[in-house]
Amino acid sequence: MSALRKPKLKPNKIVSMKEAVQDTVTPGCDLYIEGFTHLINFAAGHEIIRQGIKDLTASRLTPDLVYDQLIEANLVKKLVFSWAGNPGVGSLHGLRRRSQKDSTSRIELEEYSHFGMVSRLLAGSSGLPFWPLKNYQGTHIADSNSKIKTVTCPYTGEMFATVPALHPDVAIIACQRADQEGNAQVWGLMGTQKESAFAAKKVIVVAEEIVETSVIRRDPNRTLVPGILVDHVVHEPWGCHPSYAQGYYDRDNAFYVQWEEISRDPKTYQDYFNEFVFGVNDRKGYLSKLQSGLMDKLKAKPRKCEGVDYGY
């Protein structure tokens, strides 16, 4: 990717999730749906499944349930990752069915550690071809991935591992609030949201809330992704359930536990798709299918900070 980029200045980028996905996620593209437990945008994943966009290379440190759903829907050709599981619960069964010796069909895997994946994004976001890290000596990780190489430090002569820059075609970044230009503010866990947005060719920001630009300007330190990177802004309240948005709603831990049962059998997995993905048109439809009272239960209890003085 060229180091020179065209900043995306446009006053109003708000579109529906359907439009945002149609315009950016194409068959065979390199997709990055960001989120590290926090702010994982399931709404985007479900829309991609509804649109049936195939042959994806899906990258992320922690492919979790939503990536497994893309895999089970047979949309993923290759997975680039560092930890694939259902956090605190168990395995990703769609992936397991496609990654073991006895699997009838297999997807391609390209595997790093978290630090390796982060480093790939750091290189991608800063316009460098690779990133060095003091890692992988003595392990079989580098032996099993030919993209992990080494470099000799020109100052000390020490040898470091290197990983190549990652440039997703599309990064989908969830945030608590953004303005219409896509200036996105995030608090709580920040994952690799900033790095993946800067590394990607196209960026979709998905916000729990759309606010006036003046709200963003009142607290500029909280802006993680600047609007000049952003192609589309989608307003999608509760877009991350069963993941969470700090200050908005809690993680639906019970769902993650239930998922083990749902996903183990391809039949119940398909039943889930039929009800919650294909059985609805959009996120509103999904939310209307949640058990009554669940959203009230998960709604965050307020815990406000006092804010700071930006005066001079």
Partner 1 sequence: MATNAPVNSTAPITPSERMAVRASLELQDREVVFVGIGLPNLACNLARVTHAPQLFMIYESGTIGTLPARLPVSIGDPTLVTDSLAIVSQADIFQCYLQGGLIEVGFLGGAQVDRYGNINTTVIGDYNQPKIRLPGSGGACEIATHSQRVLIMMRMSPKSFVDHCDFITSPGSKMESNKPGRDLHQSRSALKLPGGGPTKAITDLGVLEMIDGEFTLTEIYAGVTVDQVKQNCGWDLKISSTLKVITEPNPEVISILRNRIDPDRMYL
Residues engaged in binding partner 1 (CB under 8 A): 36-38, 61-62, 81-85, 87-88, 91, 95-96, 99-102, 111-115, 118-119, 121-122, 133-141, 143-144, 158-159, 187-195, 244, 246, 250-251, 253, 256, 300, 303
* CB-CB contact of 245 with 295 (8 Å): no
Residue 214 CB, nearest distance to partner 1 (Å)? 25
The dihedral built from the CA positions of residue 205, 209, 214 and 218, taken in this order, carries a sign that is negative
Residue 192 CB, nearest distance to partner 1 (Å)? 5
Q: Which is nearer to partner 1, 82 or 180 (CB)?
A: 82
Q: Looking at the chain, how many residues does it have?
A: 312
Q: Which is nearer to partner 1, 162 or 193 (CB)?
A: 193
Q: Which is nearer to partner 1, 110 or 282 (CB)?
A: 110
Q: How many CB atoms lie within 10 A of CB 90?
A: 15
Token digits for 223?
């802006």
Q: Which is nearer to partner 1, 20 or 298 (CB)?
A: 298
Residue 46 CB, nearest distance to partner 1 (Å)? 21
Cβ-based neighbours of 58, under 8 Å, separated by 6 or more: 31, 32, 33, 67, 70, 71, 76, 78, 79, 80
First to last CA, the chain: 40
Token digits for 197?
């947005």
Residue 284 CB, nearest distance to partner 1 (Å)? 24
- CA–CA–CA angle 141, 147, 150 (5° rounding): 80
Residue 193 CB, nearest distance to partner 1 (Å)? 8
Amino acid at 194: K
Q: Which is nearer to partner 1, 198 or 272 (CB)?
A: 198
- CA–CA–CA angle 152, 158, 160 (5° rounding): 60
Token digits for 60?
């992320």
Q: Which is nearer to partner 1, 84 or 229 (CB)?
A: 84
Residue 124 CB, nearest distance to partner 1 (Å)? 12
Q: Which is nearer to partner 1, 50 or 198 (CB)?
A: 198
Cis peptide before 266 (omega within 30 of 0): no
Residue 63 CB, nearest distance to partner 1 (Å)? 10
- Cα pseudo-dihedral 233, 238, 243, 244, rounded to 10: 90
